[in-house]
Amino acid sequence: MGARAVRRAIRDGLPAWGVFVALLREPVLLMIGLLVASSALHAEERRPTRGERLALEGRCEVAIPELEKELEEVPSPESAHVAWRLGQCELRARDYARAAATLERALAIDPSLAEANLDLARARYHSGDLDGADAALRAGESLSGDAVWQLYRGMVDLSRGDAAAAVQALQRAVDINKATFQTRADPQAVEPAASYYLGIALRAAGEEDRARETLRGVADSWVGTDWATQANRALGRASGQAAWVMLGAGMEYDSNVVLAGRDTPLPADISDQSGFRGVWLAQGAADLAKWGDTSVGVQGSYLGRAHVKSDLQEFDSHFPTASVWLNHALRGDTHLRLRYDFGYAWVDNDPFLDSNGGRLSLIHAWSERSSTELFGTLFVDDYRVPDQDVPDPLNPLGLSCASPGVICGPSGLNERNERDRDGWGGGAGISHVWVLPVAGLPITPPSLSGGYTFTKFSAEGREYGHQAHRVFLGLWFALPWSLGLDLEGSYTNRIFDHPSTFPNQDALLAAASAPNHQYLLSQLHRREHAFTGEARLSAPIYDPFSLTAYYRYRDNRSTSDVFDYDQHVVGLVLNVTFARSQ
């Protein structure tokens, strides 16, 4: 089980994506046919060049510049083999447009190089050129006894809407694979991709019972792989992993640890609002039970932070969470999900927040490349650290403060009560995920997500009661060398029920020079516009290890100076992932 596969399983609510785009994202299939040693090659009497040997050894990062040089030096028709291996390496790097051009050059030099047609079909398919892929498969039809050829034949037919033809080709791919290969590790084996797409093709052909049986086989036999996750989503049930755990540790820099307002002075005991801190995290999940199309599981997480600067260590935190979920498939393309969440936070080793919440979701897959989730939420927050009351004037009319030089608040205002954040809220929203196949990109077409959420929160005190409207947009890219890039941005408009009980800086300055040292509050209702952005780059190192680099930005523009701030966070975390199959 790879770290990347578990990270994908963590993302709740993702649909079963594209008929052909899903293939592009799976490392299992990226290796299919890239270094396949053909019978024709075994029979060759010519001596391979150094670049060809490097390519056959899987050292494409070294082979590509060597092959490019040899391609200009080796005479025809031998140069066709050089171009073929160069095209295979470009396929491995997911540079599909360049791979297609290189393989076309190889076939122009030597049209009898039949296996190059199969690689050309793969390159064109992954770049979204279905007609070109179909033509290349027909040109290489002498390889129709090859499981890889039948796999791509079926996927091209499925993508073009010919479900019946796709079923025939994919069934042949499954049968050939079963008769030919004894181990899953064989680089020419096409499972579980062939069975997964066979299940999708059977569904498209109206054979729902066979489709579900085939998809269950993938989900149950390939537990811990991305294909099992895809199959479970297509079945409308939770991930087939019995259990997984991901641990991580690293460092991050925060430009505004205390979330200080732009024009707000720092507390006297804090010299700088920015600093470095250590971070450590844990995430995990386990399936508890399954019966029919219903499943139950648990999920948990922990996030800890420890600051390097001594004057920021009062912001050290621990935040464990736990969830229980129930998933039920209403039919093949629609399922219902109920989840309960609990979280408890400590700040500076003192209890800070106790949170309980629930989420009910209805998820419908419109196709194999898009799905929509409608959801509703309820939550209750209990903050364990109360705010402090600001002294009132001695005179009820507000003529003077208690002590000379002390600034006091408005008469009769109990800030401790009015700033009580305890309360409950609810919301509703919609999100949609789909894949955008873009021909010619050297990377996998992006997965695009977006949505809207409305939230209403009622607090014990008048400071924090509000309603919020949030919109978000996300993009996921698969990059060469199995890198993954996640981008997300959001905008939130918060409309508060009352004016703020916190004074603005100009009010404090005026109070400092006023005879009675009493500040005045704005009578305008508090409003906030929050903008967030995040970028995460994930890189596998050596299974089960991976690295995640990230950047987060938050700009909270508020009519109250205390809540008007921005923040930049940059971090690097080393992850290790473990999984246990059923």
CATH number of domain containing 98: 1.25.40.10
Q: Would 32 be classed as within a structural domain?
A: yes
- Is 22 domain-assigned? yes
Which one-letter DSSP state was computed for residue 91? H
Say if CB 83 and CB 102 are below 8 A apart: yes
Same domain, 227 and 334: no
Residue 66 placed within a domain? yes
**Alpha-carbon distance 141 to 37, whole Å?**
18
Indicate whether 125 pLDDT > 50: yes
Together in a domain, 345 and 487: yes
Q: What is the mean pLDDT of residues 467-481?
A: 89
Let me know whether 230 and 375 are in one domain: no
Alpha-carbon Rg for the chain, nearest whole angstrom, is 30
Number of domains in the chain: 2
Query: Is the pLDDT score of 14 beyond 60?
Result: no
Contacts of 204 (CB under 8 A, 6+ apart): 158, 163, 166
Between 391 and 28, whose confidence is greater? 391
Among the candidates 235, 268, 295, a domain finishes at 235
Q: Is 579 exposed, middle or buried (0-12, 13-18, 19+ CB in 10 A)?
A: buried
CA–CA distance, 466 with 527 (Å, rounded to integer): 9
Classify residue 462: in a domain, yes or no: yes
pLDDT, position 93: 85
Q: Is residue 42 part of a domain?
A: yes
The answer to whether the predicted template modeling score (pTM) of the entire model surpasses 0.85 is no
Lowest mean pLDDT among 234-238, 313-317, 354-358, 552-556: 234-238
Per-residue pLDDT band at 404 (split at 50, 70, 90): low
Does position 582 have pLDDT exceeding 70, yes or no? no
Q: What is the mean pLDDT of residues 2-6?
A: 41
Q: Are residues 220 and 330 in the same domain?
A: no
pLDDT at residue number 115? 87
Shared-domain flag, residues 224 and 335: no
Residues contacting 185, CB < 8 A, separation 6+: none
Residue 38: is its pLDDT beyond 70?
no
Indicate if 352 and 229 belong to the same structural domain.
Answer: no
Residues 230 and 333 in one domain: no
Q: Are residues 204 and 344 in the same domain?
A: no
Model confidence band, residue 266 (pLDDT cutoffs 50, 70, 90): low
**286 in any annotated domain:** no
Q: What distances in angstroms separate CA 13 from CA 168, 325, 424, 534, 541, one per listed residue?
A: 32, 12, 24, 19, 27
In whole angstroms, give the CA distance from residue 249 to residue 243: 21
pLDDT of 34 above 60:
no
Residue 440 lies in a domain: yes
Is 268 inside a domain boundary?
no
Confidence of residue 58 (pLDDT cuts 50, 70, 90): confident
Q: Compute the mean pLDDT over every residue in the chain, rounded to the nearest whole number.
A: 83
Last residue in a domain, options 220, 235, 250: 235
Over the stretch 144-197, which tens digit does the pLDDT of each residue have? Answer: 888 889 999 999 999 888 999 999 999 999 998 888 865 555 556 788 888 999
Residues 413 and 555 reside in one and the same domain:
yes
Q: 73-82, 259-268, 293-302, 404-413: which has the highest mean pLDDT?
A: 293-302
Show which of 235, 262, 279 is a domain's final residue.
235
Residue 157's domain comprises 3-235
* pLDDT at residue 385, as a whole number: 87
> Do residues 342 and 225 share a domain?
no
